Amino acid sequence: MGAANLSASAAVASAVTITHRMILMSDPATAWDVSSRGEAMRMISEKMDAATQGSLDAAFAVGRLAINSATGKMSTDDVAHGLLAIGVAAARPAARRARANAKRLSRT
């Protein structure tokens, strides 16, 4: 998935997820419900997992760019594409989680 598609799908999925979670967590009837607390804990752990995975993926992309640049055969376009690949690699786990959450929360 390209950078533009990744960004757009993550934005839509995030809006859906935030909307569902705001409704769930702002309802006073379910404020002390186990499912609401479970969703809050899930929200935090998913963000930490996605950040960790994104950091690792970005580090591997940096390594690939460094190895490719060591050959001395890279053009300026290759550098730009490599930097974009680092950003996409860093954002992909969070976008994947956002899409999965939007799908899961839309079913409930």
Residue 26 has pLDDT above 90, yes or no: no
For the entire predicted model, the pTM comes to: 0.80
**Cα 1 to Cα 96: distance, rounded to the nearest angstrom:** 11
Average pLDDT over residues 29-55: 86
- Output the pLDDT for position 108: 64
Indicate whether 12 pLDDT > 90: yes
Find out whether 92 and 58 touch, Cβ atoms under 8 Å: no
Comparison of pLDDT for 40 and 47, the residue scoring more:
47
Q: Is the pLDDT of residue 30 over 90?
A: no
Phi/psi at 76 (nearest 5 deg)?
-65, -30
Q: Is the pLDDT of residue 93 over 90?
A: yes
CA distance 56 to 18: 26
pLDDT tens across 72-92, in order?
888 889 999 999 999 999 999
